[in-house]
A and B are shown apart, each in its own frame.
Chain A
Amino acid sequence: MESWREKTLRWTFVAVVLGAIEAVVRLDLVDRIFLTAPSLIAAGAWKSFLSGELLGLFLTTVYEVAVAFAIAVVIGLPGGYLLWRQPLLGRAYDELLGALFASPLILLYPISLVIFGRGTNAIIAMGLVTGAIPIVLNTHQGLRDVNPTYIKVGKSMRLSERQIMRYVLFPGASPMILGGLKLGLTYTLISVIALEFLVEIGGIGTLASRGYFWFNTEELYLGVAGAILLSMIFIYLLGKAGTRLFSS
């Protein structure tokens, strides 16, 4: 457990950095086109929140991530199971998918754009591709790591295949599968926000892009901060979900 002292110091550090930026900007030591004060960003965020725009952007991003991740799970879990059931496919596709996972998949986004058009669907498609691969790979790995003796014991107790899946395989593989889900969600989130920024469609990622092109420094930093904050919230919640599942 971390001590309150470390926690305090960490937040003090954050506060000092923000305070320094505020001071540098307020004292006009730096051109306001480059950097803006945290207080001004916060004021902009409040205004944008009141107009409903900020919330809309956040919700769009969350929607895209949620849809992409849901499809990735629906494809990924059975996919991993299939690779485990058919060891030949497993060996073949583990390598293929591993190679794909190591490649810069995000660079395929222009293809997604020409196929799905410039819209949220293109972003969802890319998010689900990047998210599904770690889910498949980890599910496969997790199932492979289940001690075969457990399955034999299950069989000797005349459990049906479904029961073995429910009571032996998936509980045994769950830590690895959960790791895959976390990884998948993180990758989905990263590609969704990155694409929103790159092609300027959809949610919170567009804000930074728009701010840059319109020389609206506050909007730019609001977009950057918003995107980072949203990712951090996701990761925080993921961590929470993980510990809860394991403690139960």
Chain B
Amino acid sequence: MNRITKPLLVQIGTVFGFMVIWEIIGESKLLFEGILPSIVEIVKAAWTQVATGFIFPHLLVTFYEASAGFVIASFLGVTVGILLGANPFLRNIFEPPILYFAATPKIILYPIFLMILGTKFESKMAMAAVSGFFPIVINTTIAAANINRIFIKVAKSVGASSLQTFTRVYLPSILLPIFTGMRLGIGVSLVGAILGELKVSNAGLGFIIVQAFNYFRIAEMYASILLTFLFAAIVNLVMTLVLARMRRFA
């Protein structure tokens, strides 16, 4: 056995062991009945949600909210990040509060969005935007602040305008860190939108999870959570691949 297969076996063993323990506890009446439904039942419920097409409109809603929020987050994050990165004075003033805010639970702002934007899509977009903003702005700021000063001096010495300096010097040298921030950002944007849906909504992945929870359709709830995780993993994978591709070009 080599270095790769052995850990893989342990991983598979762990997942399998987890499933066995799950089934045993579920059967044992140790917990209140129905709390840990059989995995077969969960997978069946997940399959039903996919096969009947039940999940897709909700998936679309979540995707719409998260991506709209993510676009806003990227735009604001990159703009503010470059502004702060290029200007040490502004950076010294605003970077500490941004770092502090980044570590607070953004979902707490959700009731404000609900009040101002209503209970439909817009409030979830705002959640996604606020959640995704921080990793993007932080990464962009750091990248823009650490640009080789000589590049900028050279650009100035050859008479580049500030727009040219921005597009020819700043942008190319910070593209990779920006994308790293965006990869983190899209994940938290997604979670932000779903958390919003879990609290107040009438559509989306978070909505069907909380609906199943409220009506104690536990297998369906696990199924929806499973599919949501799958969706998040796919988004993450795609972003990772895009990033790897960009690395090759950079």
Instruction: Indicate if A55 sits at the interface (CB-CB under 8 A).
Output: no
- Say yes or no: B218 contacts A91, CB within 8 Å: no
Closest to A212 in B: B111
Give chain B's interface residue range (CB within 8 Å of chain A). 35 or more
Which single member of A14, A104, A110 contacts B187 (CB below 8 Å)?
A104
Instruction: Indicate if A208 sits at the interface (CB-CB under 8 A).
Output: yes
- Say yes or no: B100 contacts A103, CB within 8 Å: no
- Say yes or no: A111 contacts B108, CB within 8 Å: no
Query: How many cross-chain pairs have Cβ atoms below 8 Å apart between A and B?
Result: 135
* A236 to B222 alpha-carbon distance, docked (Å): 38
Instruction: Indicate if A115 sits at the interface (CB-CB under 8 A).
Output: yes
* A114 to B34 alpha-carbon distance, docked (Å): 9
Which single member of A190, A212, A220 contacts B105 (CB below 8 Å)?
A190
Stretch with Cβ within 8 A of A (4 or more), from B51-59, B151-159, B169-177, B229-237: B229-237
Instruction: Please name the 9 residue pairs, one residue from A and one from B, whose CB atoms are nearest each other, closest first.
Output: A212-B111, A92-B10, A92-B7, A231-B104, A91-B7, A104-B191, A194-B105, A227-B108, A190-B105
Known: A108-B225, A113-B213. 20 other contacts (CB 8 A): A93-B10, A93-B11, A95-B7, A102-B187, A102-B236, A104-B190, A104-B229, A110-B210, A111-B222, A114-B221, A115-B31, A191-B105, A197-B107, A198-B107, A205-B108, A211-B111, A217-B115, A227-B105, A227-B108, A232-B104
A sample of 5 inter-chain contacts (CB < 8 A) reads A3-B92, A10-B97, A111-B225, A194-B108, A235-B100
Q: Identify the B interface with A (CB < 8 A).
A: 3, 6-8, 10-11, 14, 31, 35-36, 89, 92-94, 96-97, 100-101, 103-105, 107-112, 114-116, 187, 190-191, 194-195, 198-199, 206, 209-210, 213, 218, 221-222, 225, 228-229, 232-233, 236
